[in-house]
Structure 1
Amino acid sequence: MTTSVPYSAYQATAAHPPAATVPAAARATELTKVYGQGETRVTALDSVTVEFGRGEFTAIMGPSGSGKSTLMHCMAGLDSISSGSVRIGDVELNGLKDKQLTQLRRDRLGFIFQAFNLLPTLTALENITLPMDIAGRKPDKAWLDQVISTVGLSGRLKHRPSQLSGGQQQRVACARALASRPDIVFGDEPTGNLDSRSGAEILGFLRRSVQELGQTIVMVTHDPVAAAYADRVVFLADGRIVDELRQPTADSVLERMKRFDARGRTS
């Protein structure tokens, strides 16, 4: 999916804080992830060290098979690591038991995926509050109202997923990810199943959630236009971080990606 709405409307008001002044919401140090053994051994991540600053929107990009989704899954505690360290805030994920990891993901992380993962029998509002309902926690009403207003769902809260467009369903998924006020939201190609207009609406919402709500977002994407909504783009190739770009534009991201493609053809 390639979005067509320019980022310029957001770029003028977006804050792009220097990396040194932004405390880390998540950090990987010498992170290595290996799948298989012997002849089937694949190193998906090779000694990756990276930080994701609080209140910052980071896009992760790279060619297919570069390790970008693996990095996100390891950072979010959805996949184990082979060696190195992963921290969410001051919590080291290594050594946490399954129950502790589940609690950390539930209480401190939000997730947005290509598939909306909404329950068809629940209303939009019930889907948004479901994780907190399961945890036996009451939502902060003022925060929930602010999230719903920011995502533009105030008139759709009683609708079920079948009564919503794809873009509206993904907005419900975004609101659900933000409703518990997580430390960080991870998005894996969150606009991948949407048309260009709906995708641009979701990206605009994610941008506003950083600017207006102070949210931290890490998003895997293959789309230079989507990446241009971020404060920073991290580029992976062959399981390693090979470049970084701040205050990106679609053109500057595309230019970087072309370099990697050219490098791959000549190697």
Structure 2
Amino acid sequence: MSVQAFDPIARTTNIIARARSLTKVYGSSDTVVTALDAVDVDFERGKFTAIMGPSGSGKSTLMHLLAGLDTATSGTVSVAGADVSGMNQRQLTKLRRTRLGFVFQSFNLIPTLTARENITLPLDIARVKVDEEHFSHVVNAVGLGGRLHHRPAELSGGQQQRVACARALVSKPDVIFADEPTGNLDSASGREVLMFLRKSVDDLGQSVVMVTHDPVAASYAHRVLFLADGRIVSELDSPTPESVLQVLAAISRADDHLPGE
């Protein structure tokens, strides 16, 4: 399979997140590292998008900039119509608390709180009343109905990550950002979490952007973006593990044939 050129303008559907000329540079003078190099990309509302690439390709940097967890050197980011790149820290904190959901490799649960208390924590912090109907819908979707009064230590790794997924969904975010969400899980638990994330998109209309290194995890997405050296070099719709591996191999071969390499 040849690596297809990436064209951010080709998609005209409803956009939930957008980056234009997005650049992130670390260091200075002789130690400059360009982690992200003038990236233009759109993410579709109500879709599950995976971001892949070799170590150091810029995939986590892209997600962190989109989610307002880091600041760009130059360029712009907008999420659900909000200009993330123009926000101060107070505005970013409010955005992350009220409009974005997060799922990380580490579950980030509070050990002294029950599953229910962990799920509703963002709403409690924001002093927003829990929508019990929506809460029940989310809890049923993740299959935690009988575990709400258990603390994290009483749950399996897969159950803890499903609590984290439910926590991300309960505030009805515009988009969920997931950073290697199955990295600490066995294959069966990881499959459960990925199936839930896909179900949240297909059944609840959620938008999900996930960074992963795993071709099987990426195959749960509607679309995969591939980064290399801080740039998006390819994309793949309706991925399978095999088609993802083929694109990764093509990118690797292209890198091997760069001038001077």
Runs of 4 or more above 6 Å deviation: none
- Which one of the candidate residues 213, 216, 230 is aligned to 1:239? 230
Q: Please give the alpha-carbon distance, in whole angstroms, between the structure 2 residues aligned to 1:258 and 1:232.
A: 18
Does the CA-based 8 Å contact 2:175-2:209 persist in structure 1? yes
Q: What are the residue-to-residue correspondences of 1:1-267 with 2, within 5 Å? A: 20=11, 22-267=13-258
What residue identity is the alignment partner of 1:242?
V
Q: Please give the alpha-carbon distance, in whole angstroms, between the structure 1 residues aligned to 2:218 and 2:180.
A: 11
Shift of 1:22: 2.7
What's the % identity of the aligned pairs? 63
Q: Please give the alpha-carbon distance, in whole angstroms, between the structure 2 residues aligned to 1:28 and 1:140.
A: 32
Q: Please give the alpha-carbon distance, in whole angstroms, between the structure 2 residues aligned to 1:187 and 1:22.
A: 22
Q: Please give the alpha-carbon distance, in whole angstroms, between the structure 2 residues aligned to 1:241 and 1:27.
A: 14
Cα deviation code 1:180-213 (max 9, x no counterpart): 0000000000000000000000000001000000
Paired residue total = 249
Q: Please give the alpha-carbon distance, in whole angstroms, between the structure 2 residues aligned to 1:264 and 1:167.
A: 36
Q: Please give the alpha-carbon distance, in whole angstroms, between the structure 1 residues aligned to 2:170 and 2:72.
A: 28
Residue 14 of structure 1: aligned partner: none
What residue identity is the alignment partner of 1:140?
D
Instruction: Report the TM-score when normalising by structure 2.
Output: 0.94
Q: Please give the alpha-carbon distance, in whole angstroms, between the structure 1 residues aligned to 2:248 and 2:117.
A: 41
Q: Unpaired segments of 5 or more residues in structure 1?
A: 1-18
What residue identity is the alignment partner of 2:158?
G
Q: Unpaired segments of 5 or more residues in structure 2?
A: 1-9
